[in-house]
Every structure is written in structure tokens, then in C-alpha cells.
Structure 1
């Protein structure tokens, strides 16, 4: 998106219901560039005529914390003529761990063996198939919530019985994934418009290595294989902006665990010195690019 010299920059929307470090950084960057920011709260957007008129042609940074609201609102924004970054497809796919796995698998991107388990019976069979230890994950979660490391049949029964008691078919459905070196450090790369802007290593906390659970973060040395995998994974889910989580397998090659379309980057910025907020805003105000999976 370009503006002629002397003309006021067009407003940029930012879709959010909670302002965290990342959203403050993005708002500050928009202000620094003199770009008016329009806050859009997905909890109150009804897409009435007064909403629709101002949305036509607007670029919108999708920073909604709820995966369901992020995907639903992105779809609605596109239908009413706005341009959410990331778009509805990326928001929907990244908001569902099984959908993410399917996309990665279809495009030949290495990822741990993953099985769908819509019932406790299917879950027990899936765990027996991948073997112990196994990881059980809900279709949608952040910060490692409801992610369990299953080391024996008793733990499997307890977790699957809990899932079976949840109120909807979606929350009762889980994925079962092979545990790749649980407790070992994992890796996150951030991709913006087809470029991996940096990579970090997360370690400590508990076996999930989430910063929210106390993991430490440091910069990862440059690695072409990791950077290439991050770019391919982001493109696979259609994301212009993505956080890609990987783990090193026993053979030394890397596997993609998850792709996040609304990536948190506080620890990343501190570890790498990369101004992620500036990169994201630049992507938002620039002309859209086709997201293609590199070979």
C-alpha cells in the first residue's frame, strides 16, 4: 500500500480483544510511521452497514487472541472488502492443529507422525500406534494448555477420559503425536513475507518449552535448513506472517511441530534484536504477495 507524498496515510486496522506486549509494539510502530490505527474488537463487530463502509479496502493486522474469533472475523473482513493479514485461510488452518498437520503433510514438509482421535477409543488406538511416550493435544490451544505427555496406559486413560467429558465434539477431539525428544530444546523461527527474519532456541520451563511456562530463550546460529523449513511451513498454511515451531529429531534433521499465524515475539525480539513489529507493519502496508511454497 503506497501513498503519494504529502497525503495522509490510510488507516490500518488492528484486530484485537487484548493488548499485550506485541500489540503495544505494533501500535507504537504504526504511530511512529504516522499511520492512523483503527482498533477493531471482534467481540463487538457486527458488520452492520456502518462497519462495512469503513472496512472496504482497509488493511487489518489480525492479532485476536482467540483462534475461533480470529478465523471467523478474518473471513468476515475479507467478505466485506478488507484485507486481513494474515488472511482467513491462514487463520483457520493455524487455529486447528490437525488442519495444520494435513497441510504440512500434503506438501511434504517433515512433521512428527500425527493421528486424529475423535473419541477415547480412537485415542487409545492412536497412542498404541505411535508408541510411548506420545503427546496428546487439543485441536486448538496456546501456551501448551491441555497438551499432555503420555508415558503409560494409565496416563492415557486419565487424559482421554477427561477429554470425553468436555462439552462439545470439537473439544473432545484431540490429536495424538509422536513425542520427539520430549524435554529437549525446541526452535522457533519467524517468517514475514517469505523471509525467515530470525530463529531462537527455547529450553527449560517444563517439557513443553513455552516461554509462558518459564522457558529461556536465546538466538539460534544461522541455519539454512531451519530457515528454509520455516519459510516452507508458513507458505504451506498460506501465512504471510508466522511463527514456526520445530524440533530436532534423533537423526539430526528438523521436524515442524506447529505454525502460529498470530505469533508472540517478545522473547524473540529480546534474543535476536530483530524489530519484528516493524517487519509486520511493513508487510501490512505493502502490496499483498502470493504465498507460494518454495521447493
Structure 2
């Protein structure tokens, strides 16, 4: 029986869905925290020690979450993912994709470099320079978003609307990440989340925010939409730019009628998406991982069992 490691500190609903999908292939999935893994660089040992996989490395690893922590801790977690890949274990998404997306500055840089539409963004250390940038943007009639360089689910994000807000302009561990606020076309607050797997947009939804934050974790409502060719193509290009197996791509339709990529998530949730569409995301993810990296198909598994 093939064994799969699911890296997560909170299996919950998503972990259960993935475990069920792997079981349909005859694979046994086990939850593991990256905080418990080690590099064991001594003769006669597996170089990567994973609880529950002490005798043999997993056949594949699915990254459902990377814990926060100090720089050293996060680097160690990424070292584990990099090492597994170098040892021939498929890692989905791998350490390189996680690095590109967890760092919002690098995400913005790569999107802009690839020619994808993304808001003007500044990443810097100098507090005075950050205030000057904010002042100039406000004077030109633009609002700004201040974000932690590392973060998710809308936590730690502030909107700078007027000069007095500059008193609250704070860094994230000494780094300022400022991005021009994009006003959505039409009425209200919303954006689009497109789920991409292996270069294909498999499902999409509109997230309707109760405020300018559109994250489901912050109370946004979900509404199914069909991803038209322009929206789907933009999401796929964004995921490919960051070299991701799968991604949740956040896209705004601005007041000029243009799509703009806001974020690309390498460990996206999909519970909200499944609540408004008839797509089994976990099944599609597992199909892709096992099919592309281990050469498994449902028909082959059935034949092996019989």
C-alpha cells in the first residue's frame, strides 16, 4: 500500500476530504506536522526523519499547511520539503512554490515581471520612504493596502484612506508591503477566486465581502461563477508563473473593466468553493498528484486490487 504524508497542523475538513480521496486509490494518508520533522544527516539513517515514516519515506507528500515561526523555523520547514523533492519524493506543492507564494513581495515581483496585471506595489524597510509613498498615493487619489509580508486569510491587513491613517502605518517585522487598493467594478465589495490544478481552471467563485476584505475567513459570502476564458487564462498564467501544481488565484475586476491579479495562494482552502459548486476539489487534486507523479489511475488501482 502506498503511503502519503499530508503536512498539516490542522487536518479538519480539508484533511478528511483528502484522506478519503487517497483511500479511493488504495493509498493510506497520514497527517504530519512539519514542526516534528528533522534532518538526520548521519550514516545509515534516512536523511529526513518524519514521524510515522521512520523506516521508509512516503511515496508522496501533500502540503496542506506550513507553520509560521521564526525565520530559522520556517527555513527548516522549507528545507524538509526541498530535501524530500531531492530524494525523489513528489511534493505537492513543493518548497519552491511555497517560497514564491508565502512571500507576497516575491509573488508581486514575479507577476509583474511576467507581464501579468497586478497592482502597483512597494516593499521596503525605510519607514520615512514608506510614508512618502503613502502620502503621494493619497494625494493622487489612490487608497493603499498595508499587508504583512507573510500572512493569510486577511489577517493584519489595513486600508490607508486618508492622511491621518499614516499615523497607523506599521511595518511587519520591519518590512513595509504597500499595494494600491483596487476598487471593484459596480456596487459593493467582491473579488474572484479561481482554483487552478495542473494548468487548468477547475472552478471559480465570487467572494462578496461585508467590507473591503473579501476573505471567506473574514465573513465573505461565496457565489459560484463560470470562469470565462479571460479570467481562467489569467489565473492559469499566474499559477504557472509561480510554478505551482495547484493554486487559488485571487483576481479583481476593476472599475475600468480590467482583471487584476491580487494574490496567488499555494495552500488554498476550498470549503467555501465546494459550498457553491458541484466540484470535488480533493478528488481532482489527488487524481493529479497520483496520476502525474506516481503513474496511478483509478482503472489501474482497480486492476491491482482485483
Fold equivalence (TM over 0.5): yes
Alpha-carbon distance change, 288 to 268 in structure 1, aligned in 2, over 3 angstroms = same
CA distance in 2, matches of 1:136, 1:144: 11
- Which residue does 2:169 correspond to in 1? 159
- Unpaired runs of at least 5, structure 2: 69-73, 295-306
Q: 199, 203, 214: which one pairs with 1:198?
A: 203
Q: 234, 245, 257: which one pairs with 1:229?
A: 234
Shift of 1:93: 0.5
User: Does 2:191 align with 1:181?
Assistant: no
CA distance in 1, matches of 2:183, 2:33: 40
Runs of 4+ in 1 over 4 A off after TM superposition: 50-57
CA distance in 2, matches of 1:259, 1:104: 9
Say which SS state the counterpart of residue 90 (structure 1) adopts.
Answer: helix
The CA RMSD over aligned residues, in Å, is: 2.1
- Which residue does 2:257 correspond to in 1? 252
- Which residue does 1:25 correspond to in 2? 17
CA distance in 2, matches of 1:25, 1:210: 22
**TM-score normalised by structure 1 residue count:** 0.86
- Which residue does 2:302 correspond to in 1? none
CA deviation profile, 1:37-60 (whole Å, cap 9, x unmatched)? 133220110132344575657311
CA distance in 2, matches of 1:196, 1:158: 39
Q: Note if contact 2:19-2:28 (Cα within 8 Å) is conserved in structure 1.
A: no
CA deviation profile, 1:13-52 (whole Å, cap 9, x unmatched)? 2111211221221112112332111332201101323445
Shift of 1:245: 0.3
Say which SS state the counterpart of residue 213 (structure 2) adopts.
Answer: coil
Say which SS state the counterpart of residue 38 (structure 1) adopts.
Answer: strand
Alpha-carbon distance change, 55 to 78 in structure 1, aligned in 2, over 3 angstroms = farther
- Which residue does 1:82 correspond to in 2? 89
CA distance in 2, matches of 1:40, 1:28: 16
Structure 1 or 2, whichever has the larger Rg, is 2
CA distance in 1, matches of 2:55, 2:135: 53
Q: Note if contact 2:11-2:31 (Cα within 8 Å) is conserved in structure 1.
A: no
- Greater relative contact order (Cα 8 A, min sep 6): structure 1 or 2? 1
User: How does 1:109-120 map onto structure 2 within 5 Å?
Assistant: 109-120=116-127
Say which SS state the counterpart of residue 38 (structure 2) adopts.
Answer: coil
CA distance in 1, matches of 2:56, 2:106: 29
CA distance in 2, matches of 1:245, 1:71: 24
Q: Note if contact 1:234-1:241 (Cα within 8 Å) is conserved in structure 2.
A: yes
Say which SS state the counterpart of residue 27 (structure 1) adopts.
Answer: helix
- Which residue does 2:160 correspond to in 1? 150
CA distance in 1, matches of 2:79, 2:133: 30
CA deviation profile, 1:230-250 (whole Å, cap 9, x unmatched)? 000000101011000010112
- Unpaired runs of at least 5, structure 1: 1-7, 164-169, 290-295
User: Does 2:217 align with 1:212?
Assistant: yes
- Which residue does 2:297 correspond to in 1? none
Q: 136, 143, 146: which one pairs with 2:146?
A: 136
**TM-score normalised by structure 2 residue count:** 0.83
